[in-house]
Amino acid sequence: MPDAGGGRGRDASPGSRPRSPASLLESARALLTRSAAPYSRFRVAAALEDADAEVHPGVNVESASYGLSICAERNALFGAISRGASRFTRIALVSETMRPVVPCGACRQVLLEHAPDLTLILERADGSPEQVRLSELLPRPFTEFQPKP
């Protein structure tokens, strides 16, 4: 996972084996303290895994103008893309106060555009992992835009 000194945010070397679902949840859980949620106090963290088994961190960051806030899922995705990552396979999501926590509609849409085969790893009430296909949560996504001629 990312180091406190501003490391690249990756914790697996290329070609390494994917983590277990429980391990990916733990990676996300370790990020919760980095969430900046002073208004809602609803901390969320995400650990996004790519096809090379690299893990990209994300936490929610709030603004007093809520529309300018960013969710953990999009934070992880946008950071990973900006570092050149692609081919995302799984994302683990955790919250301090809600189990399971699932992506909001905006995150579902953005994740599906960049990772249509993504699997979500959610934390059940007992702490165990639950795996859900993103496409199950957003069955008819907006994926094409064709302006009128």
Tokens read off for 13: 């070397």
Predicted confidence band of residue 15 (pLDDT cuts 50, 70, 90): low
What's the average model confidence in pLDDT over 59-68?
96
Work out how many domains the chain is built from and give that number: 1
Which region among 26-30, 41-45, 97-101 has the lowest average model confidence (pLDDT)?
A: 97-101
Residues 115-132: pLDDT tens digits?
999 999 999 999 999 999
Predicted confidence band of residue 2 (pLDDT cuts 50, 70, 90): very low
Is 27 inside a domain boundary? yes
Is 102 inside a domain boundary? yes
- Report the amino acid identity of residue 69: S
Is 55 inside a domain boundary? yes
Size of the chain in residues: 149
If phi > 0 it is left, if psi is from -120 to 50 it is alpha, else beta; for residue 89 that is: alpha
Percent of the chain with pLDDT over 70: 87
Whole domain around residue 62: which residue ranges? 23-137
Task: Assign residue 73 the CATH number of its domain.
Answer: 3.40.140.10
CA–CA dist 40, 44 (Å, integer): 11
Q: Which residues are catalytic?
A: 73
Mean pLDDT of all residues belonging to the chain:
89
What's the average model confidence in pLDDT over 8-23?
67
Which region among 83-87, 128-132, 145-149 has the lowest average model confidence (pLDDT)?
A: 145-149
Is 11 inside a domain boundary? no
